[in-house]
Amino acid sequence: MSRIGKKPVAIPGGVTASIDNGTLTVKGPKGTLTLGLSDLIDYKVEEGEIVVKPANDSKQARAFWGMQRTLVSNLVEGVSAGFTKILDIKGVGYRANAQGRNLKLQLGYSHDVDLPVPEGLEVKTPDQTTIEISGSDKQAVGQFAAEIRRWRKPEPYKGKGIAYRGEYIFRKEGKKR
């Protein structure tokens, strides 16, 4: 039995959910998100909550149960509160600047890195060494943050690079003489 799957997903005020043609649609103040539904799982929109249960007792249905409940929960949380990832840039001369729908990064290369911001996401740079990515789709926010981080991963000797806020960077000691 899935402990996560047993819990119904609460629908906050201002958010509506509906199921039609194998698609769950959730609308809220931050937008509209959809999820294709699995045949192995039964979904029910009841008063103030969404209930997710396996359609049969097969091993695959029980394996999907908790994951599908989490995906539904992410939809509800995304349209009501949204998701945010914060990246910190460490290194001499490393900086970021949000310019409209583009993000300009200076990361020690001979050229600037210009990244177009995907639709549905918002990127802010409160200062030159901080990037805030926010949006209603958790997967899109995480994917764009990973693409930015991939340009300069944190290195273990000086800790230079782009790291998630709160990420622990394993540090190594340099050469000894």
Distance set, CA 17 to CA 24, 75, 81, 138 (Å): 7, 10, 15, 18
Residue 2 pLDDT > 90: no
pLDDT band of 156, cuts 50, 70, 90? very high
Q: At 84, list the tokens.
A: 């945010």
Q: At 24, list the tokens.
A: 């769950």
pLDDT band of 177, cuts 50, 70, 90? confident
* pTM as predicted: 0.89
Contact in structure between 115 and 121 (CB atoms under 8 Å):
no
pLDDT band of 150, cuts 50, 70, 90? very high
pLDDT of residue 26: 94
CA distance 17 to 122: 24
Domains of the chain, each with CATH number or no CATH: 3-80 (3.90.930.12), 83-164 (3.90.930.12)
Name the amino acid, one letter, at 16.
Answer: T
Q: Where are the beta strands (DSSP E) in 3-40?
A: 9-10, 16-20, 23-28, 31-36
Residue 112 pLDDT > 70: yes
Q: At 111, list the tokens.
A: 């050229």
Neighbours of 133 (CB within 10 A): 24
Tens digit of each residue's pLDDT (9 = 90 or more) over 55-91 = 998 999 988 999 999 999 999 999 999 999 999 999 9
176: phi then psi, degrees, rounded to nearest 5: -110, 150
